[in-house]
Structure 1
Amino acid sequence: MKAILSGQAGVVVVQDGSTCWSRRVRDDQYNECRLEDIPFLFADCYDLMSVASTSPAQAFRVLENEWTHDRALQLVLILLDSDAHLRARNMAASGLEKLFSKETAQQFVLHRLYAYPLPKGADLIGALEFCARESCRIARDLLFTLRDDQQNIVAVREHWNRLSPELFSTSSEKSLLEQIAIEEGFFYGLSSSKSRLLGEMISQWVSNPRLRGFGNRKYIIEIWAKPFLSRPKEPTREQQLDLFKEGTQGN
């Protein structure tokens, strides 16, 4: 038994031989469908994934997770959109707190928001105000961190864009590696001010099973990450307290 699903569409299709059943995230049960219906169920979705499932119930749980992740990302984008209706932004802020109670949803959103700098039209200040109004602590903290890391995000993205095409075996390999790097959190890891163990993280990235087909992966990742290995590390809370005590004693 295999399953095809999309968090964007909120649909999972389970196939067993020539028989298949579909279920939407809001449905209570599966309904039989035809093989020729599948392309229409997933029309215009680019997050299709195929999973080997032991049961329709297991496949549906995977769908619920993927739908939660995509929903969280869409709500964050609405919240940041200065052109979105005020009520829509308010509802987005309110809905995010529940979705972000799942750490995997936070991770999914962060990995994608850290892949590119915020566009000039993004209304981060307004988004923070909506979060404060709706008491959305988790979303507020995430956006504060995103704001503080924008300079790093710009630097990491620009350095990736400048990587020589000669490092890649084909013209499409860089695009494929970039997509994996976004999904696996490489951009987030390099850009995040919390990344104090970049050396260990890079070793983990190189051994990531999804990169086995990239023969030059170790060299590419090392070249990309090199400028950020020497980034000044933020002092720990204990170090900050020590510096504060030294300053007060000096006065």
Structure 2
Amino acid sequence: MTSTRSNPLLRIDGLSSGYGRIGVLHDVSVAVHPNEIVVILGPNGAGKTTLLNSISGVARASAGTITFDGEDITGARPESVVRKGLAHCPEGRQIFQRLSVEENLVAAHIGRGTKSFEALREDAFTLFPILKERRNSSASRMSGGQQQMLAIARALMAEPKLLMLDEPSLGLAPKIVHQIFRIILDLSQTGIAILLVEQNVQLALECGDHAYLLNTGRVKLAGNAQEIASHSALGDLYLGHVTEDSLHV
């Protein structure tokens, strides 16, 4: 995957955030440029999900700024963030289990952009043919891989400029994981920037342009994805055995 380094679509500067009095992120800075896949890596509890929640307005920033498409969205409500063109596909899929595929897509359509619901639905069905086959099926009766496809399709109903994916491979069979990553690459070719949180380090770095490694709520490593993949300290940084606050490649 290649990208053009222009002005960032998403820029996070010195972000500290958490939940109530519990601080999770500390002085985190991240940038996502147009047409780019940026990968967020780190062990469990590193703050990866909190980073996405802070961007989408679920977690509140105590310091720093979040700028999206040239506008300060720090502290904006989730519904406002979505309408600006930033979609969040959360960990665990969180689709409406009792609704059908079609009803899930209807519920996610907000009419933000220029396409009609029908056009967006057909785009989703082209990307995920199985969803068209099962459009009237209850989401609860679908496999884990199909539910993940539905979760991504639902996020795309907002016509996002930037799509945030939190652990899209979680709990899926290896064959389905590779299929999901192929779809992520296909999406990036359509002009959607992607911020990807992922535990499958090898696949994530293979498809990403740039990457950040979080540990204990801080950025420990940042740079080109391929260079990070070959960084001699990657394993130690991932496990927290290197104490420097930030290493750049």
TM range (shorter): under 0.3
- The normalised TM-score by structure 1 is 0.25
Q: Which is greater in Rg?
A: 1
Q: Which has the higher strand share?
A: 2
- The normalised TM-score by structure 2 is 0.25
Q: Which has the higher helix share?
A: 1
Q: Which one scores higher on RCO, CA 8 angstroms, separation ≥ 6?
A: 2
